[in-house]
Amino acid sequence: MGLFDFISAKAREEERKERMKNAGNIAMGTLLGLAAGAVASYLFAPRSGEETREMIAKKSKETYCDMRDGIANATQRAKELGQSALEKAKEFKEEAAQRAEELKEEAEDKAKELKDKAEDKAIDAKKEVEKKANDVKKDVEKEVEKAKK
């Protein structure tokens, strides 16, 4: 996974966080709107004051319980998503470390291969130079022998 992929993953993670935040705000607004609507409907209903107060108290408790449950569910979901994101980050870190180790080993293998090739070329060049030197030496010795005669 390259740097571009890492940056893309981080951007997607930030987008997910923003969506979760927006979803929580929408849920809270919906719950508050429902509560306000329920209260308003009871206040304007054609019932006696005592009956209306009892209904408001009952609905308030129900709404409170619903909101508490909704918040608990949202909190649990956020924890689950956070844990999931943490696990994925750990996996990504492990994969990145493993890939880095693989790339390091590949680079070391290539470097050794190039070094071996360079050494082989140097040995071949040395042999060729020695051969040419011997040929020149023989030619010089022949010329010296000819010159002595």
Q: Find out whether 103 and 31 touch, Cβ atoms under 8 Å.
A: no
- Give 35 or 89, the one with higher predicted confidence: 89
Q: What is the pTM of this model?
A: 0.43
CA atoms within 13 A on the CB side of 7: 3
**Angle 142-145-148 (CA atoms, 0-180°, nearest 5)?**
150
pLDDT of 84 higher than 80: yes
Token match 């571009």: residue? 4
Q: In the prediction, which pLDDT does 35 show?
A: 76
Specify the range with the lowest mean pLDDT, choosing from 10-19, 41-50, 94-103.
Answer: 41-50
Residue 34: partners with Cβ closer than 8 Å, 6 or more residues away: 63
pLDDT of 5 higher than 80: no
Q: What CA dihedral angle connects 126, 130, 132 and 138, to 10 degrees?
A: 180
On average, the pLDDT of the chain sits at: 84
C-alpha distances (whole Å) from 79 to each of 30, 70, 87 are 22, 14, 12
pLDDT band at 42 (very low <50, low <70, confident <90, very high): low
Q: Find out whether 56 and 39 touch, Cβ atoms under 8 Å.
A: yes
Q: In the prediction, which pLDDT does 4 show?
A: 67
Mean pLDDT over residues 81-88, rounded?
90
DSSP sequence for 32-96: HHHHHHHHHHHHTSSS-HHHHHHHHHHHHHHHHHHHHHHHHHHHHHHHHHHHHHHHHHHHHHHHH
pLDDT of 1 higher than 70: no
